[in-house]
Structure 1
Amino acid sequence: MILQALAKHYQMMAEAGEAPRRGWCPVGVSFALEIAADGALRRVYDLREEQHSDKKTAVRPRRMVVPDHPPRSGKKPPAYFLCDTSTYFLGLAEDEENPAKAEKKRQDALQRFASAKELHEKMLGDLDAPAAQAVVAFFRQWQPEQAKMHPVLAEFLPDIAAGGNVVFRFQGRFVQEDAAIAARWERTLTAQEDDAQGICLVTGKEGSIARLHPKIKGVPGAQVSGANLVSFNTESSNSYGHAQGANAPVSEDASFAYGMALNALLADSDHRQILGDTAVVYWAEQENEAVQDLTSILMGGVGGKNIMTEASLQGLFQNLVKGRPIRFEAAEIPYENPFYILGLSPNAARLSVRFFLQGAFGDFLQHVKAHRERAAIAMPPRKPWTSPPLWAWLQATVSPNVSNKSPLPILAGSMTVAILKDALYPASLYEQVLLRIHAEIDDTEARPPHYKITGERASIIKAYLMKNKKRGELRMKLNEEITDPAYVLGRIFSLREGIQRAVNPNLNATIKDRYFDVASTTPARVFPILEHLTNHHLRKLARLARDDKKKTYNPYYSYERQMRELMGMLDASKGIPKTLNAEEQGMFILGYYQQTQARYEKKSDKEAETAGTMSEEE
C-alpha cells in the first residue's frame, strides 16, 4: 500500500513536469564544459548559484536532470553517463604532499577517466549526432596528465578539482538535452535489463523485476548516501529460494517511481516535518499549495513560513464543524481529498516504517481539531499558542540538563498516530511528564528561567486525562466547580504559595520548592505543616492590613475567603488522602497550574485597586 501510494504520487509529479522520467535523476551540477565539434575544450561555465538565508550567502550547485546516478562502490566504481566529477571527465587528481599517496591518486584518476572514456565511446561512438561525436572526440583527444596546465581550466581549477559534478555543453545546449542522445540512453537502459520477469506487486502488471531498490535520502540518522526502504541482503531474509528483490517482486518502473516520489517528498520542506528521530512526509492526491501549507502548519504549529493566527485557525475549524468547504489561502480543499502520512526512522542501512496513515483530508483535520481542543490551556503571556504544537509537547518530556535534547525516539511516532487517528495518547508520554516534574526544580536564575510545571506539560496532562481517563470536566482555564479531591488540593497548594509570596514577595524559595513533590504524591504528610504556615502568613497579612494608613491593596480578605471555600470542598470525614496515584497526581498538578494562572491573570487588575475593594476576589 505504501509503495502504491508513492508510485501514484510520482505519476502525478511526472504529469505536472515536476519529476524526471525513469533513467533520469536530479543532481547538483557545478560546472559545464563547452566543447567544439572536434572535442576541443573551449570554455568552462560556472553553474553554481548564490542562495541567501538568515543573512548568509552560500554557493550551491544548480539542480539539473541528468542520466541516472545509481549507487556505486568497489575499488573501481564505474563512471556516470554525461554527468560526473572532474576525476572521471578530466582525470584531475586531488593535490597530495606525500609522493606515494599523490602517485596513487593520480593512477586512480587515470583509471576513472579511462572508465568514463570507455562508457561514452560505447554509448555514443556509432550515434550520428553532432553533440554525440563531439563528446567522443573530447575523450579521445583529452590528455589527463596535462589537465592542470590547460589554460581554459586555470580560472576554476581549484573548484573543479574539489569534486563537484560536471556536464558537457555543445553549441549553446547541454548535451544531455539532445533528443538523439536522450533516446539512445533510454533505449540502452531498457535493453540492459536482464532481471527476472514477474508480476509487479505494486502495479499488478508483468515486467522486469528490480533486483535492487533505490536509496532513500533525507531521513535523519540514516546513511548520508541513502538507505533502503526495501532490501534483502542476507540469506536469512530470503524466502523460497528467492534472492534480493525477487522476495518482494516490484517492477523496475514501480521501483523507480516510488523512490523518486519519496526522495522528492523528503527533500521538500513543504511536505516534510522532523519529529524526534522520525521524518514525517505527507501528500494528497489532489495536490495544491494550500494543502501543503495547511498541513505544514498543523504539524509544526502556528507561525513559521506561513503565518496563521490562532483566530484564523479556529475559523477554519468552525467551518469544518458546520460542514462548510475547507478554505485556506483563497483555495478550496475537498473534504474527501485522499491524504497520506508516512513516518520513517533510521535502522542501520535500512529504514523503519513508524506509521503509515491514509484517509480523507477532512477527517485528519477533524482529528487535529479534537486534539487541539483537548490540549488547549491557559498559557503565560509570552507563549504564542494556547494549544502547543507537537514538537513543543515532545520537547516538554526532555530534561533540561541533558546534552541530547531529543525526545524518546518512539514517542514522536506514537504521538503523531494518536493525534491523526484520534486514538488514545501513549501512556509513556504522561509518565515522562510526571517524571520530569518530580525530578526537576525551578531555576529562576537561568536565562531564560526554567520552571518544572510549564504550560506545555500542563497541556499534556490535561489532554491525556480528557482522552484516556474521560475527564470531560477539565477546561482550558480553571474550573471552580470540580470537586475532585486531588484537583482541589492542587488549587489549595497554589493558594498557599500565593499567600506566602504576598507576605514575602522577594522570597527565593517557596513551599513549592520544598514540598510540592511530596504534596502531590503523599499529601497527608505535608498539608498539616502547610496549614500551620499559611495561618501564620494570613495573620501577618491581616496585621499589615490593619496598620496600613494609606489603604493600599492588601489581598488578605480575598485569600482568607478563597481558603475557606476550597477547604469546604474537601470531605472532612475522609480527611487528606494519604497517597495519590498517577491519575490523581496529574489532577493535583493541573489544579495547581490552573489556579496559579488564574491568580496571575487577575493580579495586574487587582493591584490597582484600593483598600476599599480589598474584600473582592484577587
Structure 2
Amino acid sequence: MTPLAALAQAHGRRRMPPFGYSTEKIGFLIALNPDGSVAGLPHDLRQPQGRTLAGRPFVVPQALKRTSGIAPNFLWDKSAYVLGVTAATEAKRVKRLPDEHKAFVTRHLEGLADIPDEGLQALVAFLRAWSPDDFTRLGWPEAMKDQNIVFALEHERLNDVCVHDREAARAVWARLQADAQAEVAVCPISGTRERVARLHPAIKGVWGGQTSGVSLVSYNKEAFESYGHAQGDNAQISEQAAFAYTGMLNAFLAPDSRNRVQLGDASTVFWADAADPADAEQAEGVFFAMIDPVNLPHEETKVGEILERMREGRPLAEVAPALSEGVRFFVLGLAPNAARVVVRFWLEDDFGHLAAHFQRYHQETALEPPPRPAHPPLWRVLQETAVQGKRDNIPNTLAGAFLRALLTGGAYPHPLLTTLLLRIRADGTINAVRVGLLKALVIRNLGCTEAPVALDPDNTNKGYLLGRLFAVYEVIQGDALGWSLNATIKDKFYASASAQPRKVFSLLDRGSVAHLSKIGKRSPGRRVNLEKAIAAILNPMSPNNDPFPASLSAEQQALFALGYYHQRAVLRPPKETAAADPSDDSAPAAADEKEPTP
C-alpha cells in the first residue's frame, strides 16, 4: 500500500473533520448582535501550551492553500484578512494588508448577501460597517493581531455554536466547493471516478518546513507537467482522497500528537490498523514507547509492562497476543525541501514483525553497565553520531536508514560505524550508548561473535584486549596523579592507540612503571591488583611475539572501545574520586538533552 492510500484509509477509520473542513487553532471569537454590531470585547480562546498561549482547536471550513497570492478563507481567517490589522512591520506585509482585508470582505459580501440566515447576515452587516481604525477605537487587545478569528451570535456563543456551524453556512460552503471546475478521472486511491484535486491541501508540522505548509504532491511548473495537464491533474488524485491523506497527516504531525517522533531531520509519523481500534491504539502506544521510552506517560502502565517483558526476550505472542497478529503497522519519515517534503522512508509490516526486530536491536545493544537511562530514546541514540551532540548535525539520511534497519532487521547503515569511531576520536566520549551501537554494528553487519555484553576475561580478540589494556593504563595514571588532570592519556592517545597501537602502547607501558611505583607507596595492594590486570591481558597476546600490531581494522577498533568500556567499568575508582572523570557515563554526552520538538 502506498503512503497516500494508507493515510486516506486511516482517515476513514478515525474521528476526523468531514470533507471540506479542517481543524485550525482559533485565538479569538467576535460575538455579534443580529444587527451586526459587536457584543462587547472579543473573547480570548487561547489556552496555555508550555510557556505560551495557543489557539483552541476548531473545526472550520478548510483553509485555502496560500503561496504568494491573496486567498481569504470562508467565515474565518487571521486578523489581517478579517479586520485589516497585523502586528507585522515588514514593508511587504504592510503593503498588502488592505488588499487582504478587501478580499475577505468582498468574498463574503458577494457570497452571502442573498442568504436569508440571521448569523450570516449579521456577519455581512459587520463587514460593511467595519473599518481597520475601529480596532484601536474600540480598545481591542493587541494580542488579537495575527490570530485566527471566528464569529458567533451572542445568544449562541455559550452553546459553542459559531457562524460557520450554522446549517445555512454549511450549505453555502458545500455549494462553493461544488462550483469549482475540475477534471473527472479515476482516482488511484479510491478506484472510483471523482473530481481531481488541482491543488492538494498544505501539510503543516514538518520540522524545518515552511510554517505556511509544504506539499507532498505538487506540480507548479510546465517542466513538471505533461499531455497538457495542469497542476494536480497530472496526479489525478481525487479531492476527497487529497483531503483525507493531508488531513490525517496534519493530525499525526500536530505538536501534541502521540503519533510522531523527531529523528534527526525526519519528522516520523506512525499508526496502526486493526479490526479492533483498541488494539491499534495499544500498538501505537507500544511503538512510541519503543522509540521514546523516557517520555512514556505514567498512566500507560500496561504499555510499560508489555515493553519490559519484550526487553526480557519474551515473544509478543505471549506478552500481548492481540498485537502479534492482525495488526498492520505503518511508519512514514518526512524531511523538508523548500516548499515540498521528501519521503525519507516508508515502512509497512505486521506489528508482530516490528516487535521481533525491536527485540533483536535491544539484545544487540545490551551492555553492562547500561546507559543512564537504561533505555535511551532513539533520538538520543542518534545524537551520539552528531558533532557537539546536536540533532541539527545528524547526517541527513542516517536517521531514516537506521530506523529502517531497526524495524526490518536489515543491516545497519554502513557509514554508522565510521561515524561513531570518528566521533569518539574527535571528542573522546566513550559512553554506553556509543559502545552499545558499536557492539550492535559488529554483531549484525560484520557477523562478529566476540562482542560480549559484560567484561569477558576469556575474549582473545586483539582489539578487545588492547582496549582493556588501555583502560588499565588510564586507571593507573588516575590513581597515581589524581582524576582532576586537565588531560589524561585517553585525551592524548586514545585515537592513535585504537588505530595504530604499535606507536603508542610501548610509551604507555613505560609511563605506567613510574605511576605504579607511586601507587605502591600509598597502597601496595592496589598496585598488585593493577599489575595482575596487565598480566592477565598481555598473557593471551604474548604467544604472538607482537602484542601491539601496526594497525587495527574498523571491527577491531569497535571492539577496542568495547574492551575499554568493560575494563574501565570494573576498575572505576570510587565515586568521590571519579566525579571529575570525563569518561564517566553518568554525565550527559549530548548537548540537546530534551526531546526534539517540531
Which residue of the other structure, out of 216, 222, 236, is the alignment partner of 1:249? 236
- Matched letter for residue 340 of structure 1: F
2:337 aligned partner, one-letter code: N
Greater shift in the superposed pair: 367-376 or 21-30: 21-30
Instruction: Tell me the distance in 2 between the aligned counterparts of 1:310 and 1:93.
Output: 47
Match of 2:142 among 155, 158, 164: 158
Instruction: Label 1:92 to 1:414 Cα distance change in 2 as closer, same or farther (>3 A).
Output: closer
Shift of 1:280: 0.4
Task: Give, in angstroms, the shift of residue 159 of structure 1.
Answer: 3.7
Give the conservation status (yes or no) of the 8 Å contact 1:47–1:62: no
Question: Who is 1:562 aligned against?
Answer: 533
Q: Which SS does the other structure have where 1:370 is aligned?
A: helix
Question: How far apart are the structure 2 equivalents of 1:95 and 1:558?
Answer: 71
Equivalence for 1:269: 257
- For the residue of structure 1 that corresponds to 2:493, the secondary structure is helix
Measure how far apart 1:196 and its partner are: 1.0
Q: State the partner residue of 1:369.
A: 359
* Higher relative contact order structure (alpha carbons within 8 Å, sequence separation ≥ 6): 2
TM-aligned CA deviation for residue 567 of structure 1: 1.6
Q: Structure 1 residue 312: deviation in Å?
A: 6.7
Please state if 1:79 is matched with 2:66: no
Distance 1:355 1:310 in 2: 27
**Could you tell me whether the CA contact under 8 Å between 1:31 and 1:44 is conserved in 2?**
no
- Decide whether aligned partners of structure 1 residues 512 and 208 sit closer, same or farther in structure 2, where only a CA change above 3 A counts: same
Indicate the residue corresponding to 1:611 in structure 2: none
Say whether residues 1:32 and 2:8 are aligned partners.
Answer: no
- The 2-side partners of 1:473 and 1:91 are apart by 70
1:167 paired residue number? 150
- Alpha-carbon contact 1:486-1:587 (below 8 Å) kept: yes
Q: Which amino acid aligns with 2:142?
A: P
* CA–CA separation in structure 2 for the residues paired with 1:572 and 1:95: 77
**Residue 587 of structure 2 corresponds to which residue in structure 1?**
none
Counterpart code for 1:2:
P
1:323 aligned partner: 317
Match of 1:357 in 2: 347
Deviation at 1:513?
3.1
The answer on whether the counterparts of 2:316 and 2:356 sit within 8 Å (CA) in structure 1 is: no
Report how many residues are paired. Answer: 562
Q: Which residue of 2 aligns with 1:406?
A: 393
Partner deviation per Cα, 1:35-84 (whole Å, 9 max, x = no partner): 2333333334413233153xx4x332222111121123556x24322112
User: How many Å separate the matches in 2 of 1:486 and 1:528?
Assistant: 16
Change over 3 Å in CA distance of 1:166–1:589 after alignment to 2: closer
Residue 561 (structure 1) shift: 2.6
Q: 1:384-423 to 2 correspondence within 5 Å? A: 384-400=372-388, 406-423=393-410
CA distance in 1, matches of 2:484, 2:172: 82
CA contact (8 A) 1:340 1:356 kept: yes
Secondary structure at 2:469 match in 1: helix
RMSD of the alignment, in Å? 3.1
Residues 173-225 of structure 1, C-alpha deviation per residue, up to 9 Å, x if partnerless? Answer: 311111232122113312x2311111111111111111111211111111111
Other structure's SS at 2:332 match: strand
Unaligned 5+ segments in structure 2 are 579-598
> 1:198 is paired with a residue of what secondary structure?
strand
Q: Give 1:429 shift.
A: 1.3
In 1, Cα distance between equivalents of 2:544 and 2:79: 87
Q: Determine the structure 2 residue equivalent to 1:616.
A: none
> Are the aligned partners of 2:47 and 2:54 in contact in 1 as well (CA < 8 Å)?
yes
Cα shift at 1:564 = 2.3
What runs of 5+ residues in structure 1 fail to find an aligned partner?
A: 442-451, 547-553, 608-618
Q: 2:290 aligns with which of 292, 298, 301?
A: 298
Q: Is the 8 A contact 2:310 2:316 kept in 1?
A: no
CA contact (8 A) 2:270 2:330 kept: yes
Say whether residues 1:490 and 2:467 are aligned partners.
yes
* Residue 458 of structure 1, aligned match among 435, 446, 455: 435
Taking a change above 3 Å as real, the CA distance of residues 507 and 41 of structure 1, as seen in their structure-2 partners, is closer
Partner in structure 1 of residue 508 of structure 2: 530
Q: How much has 1:278 moved relative to structure 2?
A: 0.7
Match of 1:573 among 536, 544, 547: 544
Whose Rg is larger?
A: 1
Q: Identify which range, 217-226 or 171-180, moves more after superposition.
A: 171-180
Whether contact under 8 Å (2:520, 2:526) holds in the other structure is no
Separation in 2 of the partners of 1:434 and 1:95?
48
CA contact (8 A) 2:78 2:149 kept: yes
Return the letter of the residue paired with 2:559.
M
